[in-house]
Amino acid sequence: MSVKTNVLSEEQVNRFEKEGFLVVKGLFSEEDLRTIEATFEAISHTAVPGYFEPDLSGETDDPLKRYPRVMHPHRFNGTAKSYMLHEPVMNVLAGLYGEEALAAQSMFYYKPPGSRGQALHQDNFYLQVEPGNCIAAWTAIDAADEENGGLLVVPKTGDYALVCPDVADAKESFTSHYVKPPKEEKAMPVVMDKGDVLFFNGNLIHGSYRNKSKDRFRRAFICHYANSSATHINIHYRPLFRQDGTEADLEANPDGGPCGIEFENAYPH
């Protein structure tokens, strides 16, 4: 399986380098999206200790307890692993990196109506990819906009240094970290159609607001990757995987932590 590094235009690569993010359409077919939907619909009715622990009692009024995010589904579900290594996505990543990408993490966010968002943060604060950077591939399984808690990005912060986070508002964010944008830049919503993929690097400041809709989920399949020339990553993300599915194990970086620190008695989405 060969890696293609020429699937993007020069203008797309330049935009990613300048803005820190890039939306690419058409990387998942309708059949792909139906398969992902069905896979995580089935998972939503189960519990997978350490990866997905929903409250299935029917007695909670917190949508995040009923629908927490699924962490590392590629570690227990073959379909999730196959889409983490989805060739069209891996080819875009190779074009952005200029070399093969290594898959480090997968997640699925259900984000039902009424659920909190995630305060602005930087991914490589947690993944600690060195040298180089992580890149996220954020796939909209539902259309995402301001009403249902779509993603927010702070443009031109892709080269902003990693900073120590402040404390977030627990009423609006399920994670406790908040990174304040630089004075000259503001967070802007990324409106996405179903099946769009947003790529952004690990220093870009991003997050999301609460899902204010009454009946719209904002499901997303999100994976994080490292450049193949990286030598270190935080231990929570090992082992990594090449596009052909074989393992690639980088040295453990002693810094960093899991992907977002949750407030006590709060549940991720």
Q: In the chain, what are the domains?
A: 10-253 (2.60.120.620)
pLDDT tens per residue across span 230-253: 999 999 999 999 999 999 989 998
Confidence of residue 5 (pLDDT cuts 50, 70, 90): confident
User: What pairing do the DSSP bridges indicate for beta strands 206-208 and 197-201?
Assistant: unpaired
Give, to the nearest 10 degrees, the angle between helix 87-97 and helix 10-19: 70
pLDDT, average across residues 33-60:
97
pLDDT, average across residues 180-191:
95
What is the number of other CB atoms lying within 10 angstroms of the CB of residue 35? Answer: 15
pLDDT for 136 equals: 98
Q: Evaluate whether 116 touches 172 at the Cβ level (below 8 Å).
A: yes
pLDDT tens per residue across span 59-98: 998 999 999 999 999 999 999 999 999 999 999 999 999 9
Q: What span, in angstroms and rounded, lies between the C-alpha atoms of 258 and 242?
A: 22
Per DSSP, the residues of 162-205 read P---EE--TTTBSBSEE-PPPTT---EE--B-TT-EEEEETTS-
pLDDT for 255 equals: 59
pLDDT tens per residue across span 102-131: 999 999 999 999 999 999 999 999 999 999
Averaged pLDDT score across all residues of the chain: 92
Kindly tell me the sign of the dihedral angle through the C-alpha atoms of 148, 48, 234, 224: negative
pTM tops 0.95, yes or no = no
